Amino acid sequence: MKTPIYLDYSATTPVDARVAEKMCKHLTLEGNFGNPASRSHVFGWDAEAAIEQAREQVAALINADPKEIVFTSGATESNNLAIIGVASFYKKKGKHIVTCKTEHKAVLDTCRHLEREGYEVTYLEPEQNGLIDLEKLTAALRDDTVLVSIMHVNNEIGVIQDIKAIGEITRARGILFHVDGAQSAGKVSINLDDLKVDLMSFSAHKAYGPKGIGALYVRRKPRVRLEPQMHGGGHERGMRSGTLATHQIVGIGEAFRLAREEMSKDNERIRMLRDRLLKGLQGLEELYINGDMNNRVPHNLNVSFNYVEGESLIMALKELAVSSGSACTSSSLEPSYVLRALGRSDELAHSSIRFTIGRFTTQDEIDFAIEQIHSKIGKLRELSPLWEMYKEGIDISSVKWVAH
């Protein structure tokens, strides 16, 4: 077994070797290197054919029409294009947007940008399990609401929002519905023929494809309009100019094709490993699971180890590549805003670890992880004054702390 063990598949995934092999065929002189926009020769025609095949593969995973797929540089760009593009196009209709506090920064920061431009944004509070109360969402809608943007699967806690039900609510009110699907493609089945979703963002690198490529689904019936954010040669039906990156697009196409074929088999195995990990950790005292366990993708486990600080735990777990729900590992010392929005105390938010399992995780790796976590939690609790107080029966919340 090679260490460190990668348990951070929600951050990114390795490119599947089958995907990499296909991509390499679209780069060199011997390969299919043409500009897909070249109409006058076979180099262009071949590249265009590869692009259109990939577009079909992406559309097939989500049961959409290939004409509804716009290629972008990734889910961040897709989120920006969907939210700003719709807000600009429909600004005469209204300037109010509804989203949720636990969205990815690519949505939250885009909404903040629109607030500075004179739009109004309502940020819904999720329930303690991370899910949105549909009545609260309905209550937030106004006559001037033009867009609701809710993620399908949360990146930190893996909970799945009921986008089918939300789509029914927004469609009945004539409000557009955007879904950030970066964490859901290839993990949850998505049928856009059935869902009343108007725009949906996707990323390749969360699903064993390359970084730097994504897609935005833009519904044709009923037609959704948006203001392009990248101007130029009018590629992608005018919605996103820029020469199409053939090898990258072939990569997302092949990754999504494999996801469609292997999702159910992969999910079953990954769920078994995740449940094995959870079972292995449940012997530990003061362990808290963050987010709903039923409405959740099979590859995510987010837990807080009370009285152990997250960053020191990550340092102790150097044989495991995991991430702290707490943003301490970046330059900010704030605990995870997602866990805070669920009403978790600062202490528990500071103590959280996200394990995300994937296609290449093995049972031996999970067993090794369980063993490591048990030994390191034991060591850090021996070091923790809070653990000692807890063991002596002192209520930590009753102590008057001097905040600094």
- Of 257, 254, 243, 188, residue with least CA distance to 71: 243
For residues 199 and 54, what is the distance between their CA atoms, to the nearest angstrom?
A: 19
Note whether 352 and 339 are within 8 A (CB).
yes
For residues 231 and 291, what is the distance between their CA atoms, to the nearest angstrom?
A: 41
Q: Rounded to whole angstroms, what are the CA distances from 371 to 237, 239, 359, 375, 380? A: 53, 51, 22, 6, 15
- Supply 169's token pair: 């609510």
Q: What are phi and psi of 196, to 5 degrees?
A: -90, 55
Note whether 355 and 298 are within 8 A (CB).
no
Least distance from other proteins to the Cβ atom of residue 11, Å:
16
Catalytic residue among 24, 100, 111, 328: 328
Of 300 and 384, which has the nearer Cβ to other proteins? 384
Of 118 and 385, which has the nearer Cβ to other proteins? 385
Least distance from other proteins to the Cβ atom of residue 393, Å:
15
Q: What are phi and psi of 296, to 5 degrees?
A: -150, 145
Of 279 and 391, which has the nearer Cβ to other proteins? 391
Least distance from other proteins to the Cβ atom of residue 102, Å:
20
For residues 149 and 260, what is the distance between their CA atoms, to the nearest angstrom?
A: 25
For residues 404 and 398, what is the distance between their CA atoms, to the nearest angstrom?
A: 18
Of 71 and 387, which has the nearer Cβ to other proteins? 387
Least distance from other proteins to the Cβ atom of residue 371, Å:
18
CA 266 to chain centre: 18
Element (H, E) at 391: helix 385-391
Of 250 and 327, which has the nearer Cβ to other proteins? 327
Of 177 and 307, which has the nearer Cβ to other proteins? 307
Element (H, E) at 216: strand 214-218
- Supply 92's token pair: 């005469």
Any idea what DSSP says for residue 295? Answer: S
Least distance from other proteins to the Cβ atom of residue 265, Å:
38
Q: Rounded to whole angstroms, what are the CA distances from 59 to 192, 204, 289? A: 9, 13, 35
Of 99 and 304, which has the nearer Cβ to other proteins? 304
In degrees to the nearest 10, what's the CA dihedral of 42, 47, 52, 58?
A: 160
Q: Is 24 a catalytic residue?
A: no
| Strand 214-218 with 69-72, pairing | antiparallel
Note whether 86 and 200 are within 8 A (CB).
no
Least distance from other proteins to the Cβ atom of residue 316, Å:
8
Contacting positions for other proteins (CB under 8 A) = 307-312, 315, 326, 328-329, 331, 333, 335, 345-347, 350, 382-388, 396, 401-404
N- to C-terminal Cα separation, the chain: 43
Least distance from other proteins to the Cβ atom of residue 312, Å:
5
Q: Count the Cβ atoms, other than its own, within 10 Å of residue 34.
A: 18
Of 385 and 393, which has the nearer Cβ to other proteins? 385
Give the DSSP letter string of 150-183: EESB-TTT-BB--HHHHHHHHHHTT-EEEEE-TT
Instruction: Please list the active-site residues.
Output: 328
